[in-house]
Amino acid sequence: MIEVKNLGFSILKKQILQQIELKIPKNSFTVIMGANGAGKSTLLQLLAGSLLPTAGNIFMDGVDMQTMNARQLAQKRAVLSQQYYLPFALTVREVVMMGRYPFFNNHPKAIDEDIVNKAMQLMDVQDLGNTIYQHLSGGEAQKVQMCRVLAQILDANEQNEKYLLLDEPVSQLDIKYQYQLMQIAKQLTRQSVTVIAILHDINMALPFADTLHFIKAGCLFTSLYPPFQITDSLTKSVFGIGSMHLPIPNANYPFIYFQP
Amino acid sequence: MLRYPKIAIIVLIGLLAITMVLAIAWGAVPISLHEMYESVLLVIQNKSLNNIHEAVFLDIRLPRVLLCAITGGILAAAGVMMQGLFRNPIVEPGLIGTSAGAAFGASFIFVLSGTLPLWMQHLSGVFLVPLFAFIGSIIATVLVYTLARSAFKVSVTNLLLIGIAINAIALSGTGFLSFISRDPQARSITFWNLGSFSGASWWQVIIVAIVTVPVMYLLQRCTNQLNALMLGDKEAGFLGVQTERLKWQILLLNTAMVAIATAFVGVIAFVGLIVPHIMRLWVGGNNRVLLPSAFLCGAILLTIADMAARLLIAPGEIPIGIITSLVGAPVFIILLKQTQLLQKGGSGYD
């Protein structure tokens, strides 16, 4: 479980986030949404530990994150970011193996090779092992990065719970793989992984989320739980655009149609 | 790229052995294999040597070839680490002041050693130039690092920019020393900037080796983290890499290694830039394999270059920096052009 207590972040006198209080229960799928510039990326960076809060604390499994060093953090959580640029040629397998770096010193052990294989099978890139990363298409490269991130957390179990943070992970993927990735993430929540994702598309979030947090102007505007009541006034406040919610047969979440 | 990188290393070791033997055998004084074998036996048995060839072998040729190989390895390895650190294939060890500072230190001794206190001048002249060159390169690099550092971190862009500035200062210092110097001193400065192994001695080999072995061991242990750094500072942090610590560790080790080699040999251009690029085409960008491969390749290439330096106008010698630049630059252009053709969308670096 992650507990966020009175979290604030400011830089150069600009207050980006203030007084954020939330609890992320274990094995849940939490989605954070908000307009551009609302502070969601900053919140994710703080949850990932790459930024330090200027106010408040974040507790990961009861431990203040600021007391953990980079390697300890890396063994507990993995982050998938939006864009990657690799300046030198590496094979796909070498890139995925980087996900196991927090767990071995110089030579990968057998378990590391196993997890790399597992990750590549999960994302269906097992045949690309020896392909050079720079020769991949944008979507394939994003999948390989997901493999690398998965390799960090696939050995999660009840004694060793892990966190997966996704920062708008579906931008480069086609529609089938977008859903595939979300399904893989959802499946991981049944395997001792807690998922926290930033998503732009609310209709992508609704089938998978256990909790929706809306960030507006640096504050936690509201949090929603199933069944999600996404009203016109909510989307107007958070996104600045009105909407209609339409029922989907056989689903316990609506389809949100935006109308300016 | 290779499926089994260990093969590359074995092949390179073999090539290095062959190259070194040839480099020992061919020269103004040719030395046969039999003479090499004999001299080693005689040294082990603590007897005096038979002929002048064996003396040349033991006192001049062998230390020279060894120093050549180690220096080539050092420069290439430093190039790999720098390019990994800067995430850019167009950087080489000299960019952060190491060579320019060394040149200034050496030039200072060439021109102004008379102004030093007598006890310093008596410090065997053989060691005064390397000592000041070493101090010069350390000061220059420390200056670059300190100035490029802001409150919490070192940005590689800043390192490059400050490096350019410090290089310019050191260069103008050397230029000024050249300007006020007498002709023989000016020639010394010029040749020092072109590099030469002609003064190689066992002492130099030992000192350089003592620094290089632990440094290379430590750098090898950094290679996984350097791989992670390729994804960017933040991403490497997510993988558990302490990026600031890694950066200064690598800079420190690199500088020590390059400074000690440059101090004895002078400035040798292009090896640190080209060898990593060549090896990357063969074994790929994984630093764990690239570092030792580049070391071996650098050793081979510099030994060959020194052979050319000694043989082309034998018994005279061409400064080795001329050969590395004259051959290195066109090779670099050819390689770049070839990779542009092979890889889609440019040189693969952008």
Cβ pair A90:B235 closer than 8 A: no
| Predicted TM-score of the model (pTM) | 0.88
Rounded distance between C-alpha atoms, residue B61 and residue A198, angstroms = 65
Q: For chain A, give the percent of residues with pLDDT over 70.
A: 100
* Nearest CB to B284; choose among A71, A81, A91: A91
Torsion of CA A41, A138, B2, B81, to 10 degrees: -40
Q: Which two tokens stand for residue B144?
A: 């670059």
What would the mean pLDDT of B82-108 be, rounded to a whole number?
Answer: 89
Q: Which pLDDT does position B346 carry in this prediction?
A: 42
Query: Which residues of A are less than 8 Å from B3 in CB distance?
Result: 130
Rounded distance between C-alpha atoms, residue B9 and residue B329, angstroms = 25
What would the mean pLDDT of A116-125 be, rounded to a whole number?
Answer: 94
At B286, is the secondary structure helix, strand, or coil?
coil
* Cβ atoms within 10 Å of A229's Cβ, excluding its own: 10
Q: Which amino acid, residue B215?
A: V
Query: Which residues of A are less than 8 Å from B1 in CB distance?
Result: 89, 91, 130, 132
Instruction: Reply yes or no on whether the pLDDT at B40 is more than 70.
Output: yes
Q: How many residues does chain B have?
A: 350
Cβ pair B240:A74 closer than 8 A: yes
What would the mean pLDDT of B258-266 be, rounded to a whole number?
Answer: 91
Place A188 in a pLDDT band, splitting at 50, 70 and 90.
very high
Per-chain mean pLDDT for chain B: 87
What would the mean pLDDT of B243-268 be, rounded to a whole number?
Answer: 91
Q: Which pLDDT does position B1 carry in this prediction?
A: 56
Instruction: Read off the pLDDT of residues A198-233 as tens digits, 9 standing for 90 and up.
Output: 998 999 999 999 999 999 999 999 999 988 889 999
Whether residue B5 has a cis bond before it, omega within 30° of 0: no
Instruction: Reply yes or no on whether the pLDDT at B48 is more than 90.
Output: no
Mutation to test the B interface, candidates A71, A85, A98, A162, most B Cβ within 10 Å? A98
Instruction: Reply yes or no on whether the pLDDT at B347 is more than 60.
Output: no
Q: Which pLDDT does position B152 carry in this prediction?
A: 65
Instruction: Reply yes or no on whether the pLDDT at B123 is more than 80.
Output: no
Residues 6+ apart with CB under 8 A from B102: B133, B134, B136, B137, B140, B259, B262, B263, B267
Q: For chain A, give the percent of residues with pLDDT over 90.
A: 73
Residues 6+ apart with CB under 8 A from B305: B72, B320, B323, B324, B327
Cβ pair B284:A106 closer than 8 A: no
* Intra-chain end-to-end CA distance of chain B, in Å: 19
Per mean pLDDT, which range of A146-150, B172-176, B340-344 is the poorest? B340-344
Q: Which pLDDT does position A223 carry in this prediction?
A: 93
Q: For chain B, give the percent of residues with pLDDT over 70.
A: 93
Instruction: Reply yes or no on whether the pLDDT at A21 is more than 90.
Output: yes
Per-chain mean pLDDT for chain A: 91
Instruction: Reply yes or no on whether the pLDDT at A184 is more than 90.
Output: yes
Rounded distance between C-alpha atoms, residue B244 and residue B155, angstroms = 10
What's the distance, CA B197 to chain centroid? 12
What would the mean pLDDT of A42-59 be, rounded to a whole number?
Answer: 93
What would the mean pLDDT of B229-240 be, rounded to a whole number?
Answer: 92
> Secondary structure of chain A in the HEC alphabet?
CEEEEEEEEEECCEEEEEEEEEEECCCCEEEEEECCCCCHHHHHHHHHCCCCCCEEEEEECCEEHHHCCHHHHHCCEEEECCCCCCCCCCEHHHHHHHHHHHHCCCCCCHHHHHHHHHHHHHCCCHHHCCCEHHHCCHHHHHHHHHHHHHHHHCCCECCECEEEEEECCCCCCCHHHHHHHHHHHHHHCCCCEEEEEECCCHHHHCCCCCEEEEEECCEEEEEECCCCCCCHHHHHHHHCCEEEEECCCCCCCCEEEEEC
> Secondary structure of B19-36 in the HEC alphabet?
HHHHHHHCCCCCCCHHHH
Q: Which pLDDT does position B345 carry in this prediction?
A: 47
Could you tell me if residue A85 is left (phi over 0), alpha (psi between -120 and 50 degrees) or otherwise beta? beta
